[in-house]
Amino acid sequence: MKINKDVSNTDNQPLIVTVVFSGGERVGDEVIDDLLQVSVTLELNPRTSQVSYKAHKFETVGSNLGYIPRQTRTLSPMQLFQAGWLELMKAKGFEQWRPKLQQEIDDYIKEATKKKKSFSMKGDLNKAIFVATYLYYLNTVPLAIESRHEQICEKLNMSSGSFTKNLSRVSVPLADCQKYSRKKKVNIFRNLDKMRINDKDVFLMSNSEPKLKGGYITPYAVDLIENYMLEYWNNKGLNNSYQPTLDPVFQQAFVGA
């Protein structure tokens, strides 16, 4: 297997790469035919950290072979994308392609889950970080990667059931939040006050479309996180002259279920 850097930015960071699998190598459960070469091209969006499928190709090694290798019919773009993404997650020089939380959030979760503790949902800051982490993984782990849910649970050291219940407890459908907005005459995308809707403190205004996951983190939750981030750096003796900000990739996500 080899990785070709097709397009890089001015810092020589790869943005479009092609992962090439040769005969005898595995793509999932398939072993590539000795006379076949399979490639899949992936693209990184540096703004959102999203990795997407771009193209794939089958090539025979040699000429006048007289037959078509079986994998040209059995390997799907989804399987090739999964295999290529997994290779990039292990390869050197592709750190920016891997899900990596902002340092302040990552350190907070590490401290909260040390000694194999499950991430606590006590306190508003914990709930805010929980939602931000959920949205981040939705954005950065492609839908085709079937382990996305497991990766979120592993990061927070939660069981699948606990994660799902906790997400429900801090989420209210966006449609209900919009009704609240009209009734209270507030802008739900700018209001820094905590909203209570449907007997829940709202940290995630979840998408109302059943086929889509995600939604918007509330401004209240963002404010909590950014104040924590400022305190994080102050405690390290780095008094910033500006307010640290939560990256947009933590603030909203709309992806297929």
Selection from 101, 127, 107 nearest residue 250 by Cα: 101
For residue 4, what is the enclosing H or E element?
strand 2-8
Q: What is the pLDDT along the chain (257 residues), one digit of tens a residue?
A: 899 999 988 888 899 999 999 988 989 888 898 888 999 999 998 877 788 899 999 988 766 567 778 888 888 888 899 899 889 988 988 888 888 899 999 999 999 999 999 999 999 999 999 999 999 998 888 776 767 888 899 999 999 999 999 999 999 999 999 999 999 999 999 999 999 999 999 999 998 787 778 999 999 999 999 999 999 988 888 766 677 899 988 999 887 76
For residue 93, what are the domain limits?
Answer: 2-97
Residues 133, 75: one domain? no
Q: CA torsion 247→248→250→256, rounded to 10°?
A: -150
Residues 75, 183: one domain? no
The C-alpha atoms of residue 109 and residue 123 are separated, in whole angstroms, by 14
109 in Cβ contact with 155 (< 8 Å): yes
* Domain end position, chosen among 71, 97, 123: 97
DSSP letter for 120, please.
Answer: P
* Domain end position, chosen among 75, 97, 119: 97
Residues 10, 118: one domain? no
Residues 44, 120: one domain? no
Q: What are phi and psi of 196, to 5 degrees?
A: -120, 115
For residue 165, what is the enclosing H or E element?
helix 160-170
What pTM, to 2 d.p., does this model score? 0.80
Task: Taking the CA atoms of 184, 132, 255 and 201 in sequence, report the sign of the dihedral they define.
Answer: negative
Residues 51, 114: one domain? no
- Burial code (b: 16+ CB inside 10 Å, e: under 16) for 232-243 equals beeeeeeeeeee
Residues 141, 216: one domain? yes
* Domain end position, chosen among 76, 97, 118: 97
Q: How many residues does the chain have?
A: 257
Selection from 207, 200, 115, 123 nearest residue 165 by Cα: 200
Residues 131, 14: one domain? no
80 in Cβ contact with 56 (< 8 Å): yes
Residues 92, 114: one domain? no
203 in Cβ contact with 127 (< 8 Å): yes
- What angle do helix axes 160-170 and 148-156 make, rounded to 10 degrees? 80
Residues 123, 34: one domain? no
Residues 219, 125: one domain? yes
SS3 63: coil
177 in Cβ contact with 185 (< 8 Å): no
User: How many domains, the chain?
Assistant: 2
